[in-house]
């Protein structure tokens, strides 16, 4: 009787369903934590300059990954600016690409941090849904993980806390504006290109923010930045909006390859 009560061996179909379920879970885990292993074109262009690091925070997915470039001839006796370069939906972090070039490394002794966001995550999301990028499944914003990385860098290197600069394009540009609003005590200046953010959520920005937008941007209309400029002017906020006539969405390399842009943002940190 006991033998009859023994469980039957699972059928081939049952085994198939179980195996398929495990595959789904494995795929989900690999996808959600892809930022911990996938490579970005920015890093591939300067593999000898950007070293991988990991950070831990209390926000999902709890572990973050970023790449860090140390200035030439780093001397811990001096304090250095830190540029945090936020990538867009593409695999490019334009500010980091340009600052890795020899001509910039010789002139601007920057630490450059390149955080990597999970595929479904945004750096920051405004409360106003009209300015949010669409996504099917909610995902926590990744900026808390970036802050954790910044804290780690400050503990390990000699960083000038008064010169922590944000730069980002497209989704990264939106993240810059959102971070300047929500983490105003951390960032001393910001450069945002081709981003979108609610003009009703900028009142807390107190450090210089330079916004750039192509007038022919078909991906993120320039009207977003026009609204931002009007709101900033009405509130007397330190936000400067510049429109690049005839330019489209791809202004990343064009913008961050100009020394005048970096001179301007450095001057902003002295204000």
pLDDT (0 to 100) of residue 27? 46
Contacts of 264 (CB under 8 A, 6+ apart): 210
Query: Using CA atoms, how far apart are residues 213 and 196, in angstroms rounded to an integer?
Result: 10
pLDDT digits 0-9 by tens, 93-111: 999 999 999 989 999 999 9
Beta-strand ranges (E) seen in 148-201 are 159-169, 189-193
Listed residue (163, 157, 166) closest to 84, CA to CA: 166
pLDDT (0 to 100) of residue 136? 57
pLDDT (0 to 100) of residue 6? 53
User: Which pTM does this prediction carry?
Assistant: 0.85
β-strand partners of 168: 86, 192
In this structure, what DSSP letter does residue 130 have? G
Q: For Cα atoms 212, 215, 216, give the angle at the middle one, nearest 5 degrees.
A: 125
Local structure of 213: helix, strand or coil: strand
Q: In this structure, how many other beta carbons lie within 10 angstroms of the beta carbon of residue 175?
A: 31
Q: What is the pLDDT along the chain (271 residues), one digit of tens a residue?
A: 445 445 567 676 656 665 655 555 454 555 555 555 566 666 666 667 889 999 988 887 788 899 999 999 999 999 999 999 999 887 789 999 999 999 899 999 999 999 998 887 899 999 887 777 766 567 789 999 999 999 999 999 999 999 999 999 999 999 999 999 999 999 999 999 999 999 999 999 999 999 999 999 999 999 999 999 999 999 999 999 999 999 999 999 899 999 999 999 888 776 5
pLDDT (0 to 100) of residue 129? 79
């Amino acid at each position: 009787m006991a033998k009859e009560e023994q469980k039957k061996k699972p059928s081939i179909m049952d085994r198939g369903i179980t195996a398929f379920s495990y595959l789904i879970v494995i795929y989900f885990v690999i996808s959600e934590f892809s930022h911990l292993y996938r490579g970005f074109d920015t890093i591939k262009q300067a593999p000898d300059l950007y070293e991988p690091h990991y950070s831990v925070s209390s926000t999902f997915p709890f572990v973050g990954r970023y790449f860090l470039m140390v200035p030439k001839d780093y001397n811990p006796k001096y304090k250095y600016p830190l540029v945090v370069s936020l990538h867009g939906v593409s695999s490019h972090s334009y500010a980091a690409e340009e600052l890795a070039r020899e001509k910039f490394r010789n002139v601007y002794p920057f630490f450059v941090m390149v955080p990597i966001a999970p595929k479904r995550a945004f750096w920051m999301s405004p409360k106003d849904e009209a300015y949010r990028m669409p996504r099917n499944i909610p995902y926590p914003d990744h900026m808390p993980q970036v802050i954790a990385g910044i804290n780690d860098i400050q503990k390990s290197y000699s960083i000038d806390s008064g010169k922590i600069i944000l730069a980002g394009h497209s989704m990264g540009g939106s993240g810059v504006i959102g971070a300047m609003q929500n983490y105003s005590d951390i960032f001393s200046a910001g450069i945002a290109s081709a981003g979108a953010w609610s003009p009703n959520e900028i009142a807390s920005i107190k450090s210089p923010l330079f916004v750039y937008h192509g007038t022919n941007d078909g991906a993120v209309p320039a009207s977003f930045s026009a609204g931002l400029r009007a709101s900033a002017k009405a509130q007397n906020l330190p936000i400067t909006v510049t429109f690049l006539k005839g330019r489209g969405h791809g202004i990343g390399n064009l913008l961050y390859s100009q020394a005048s842009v970096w001179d301007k943002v450095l001057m902003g940190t002295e204000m």
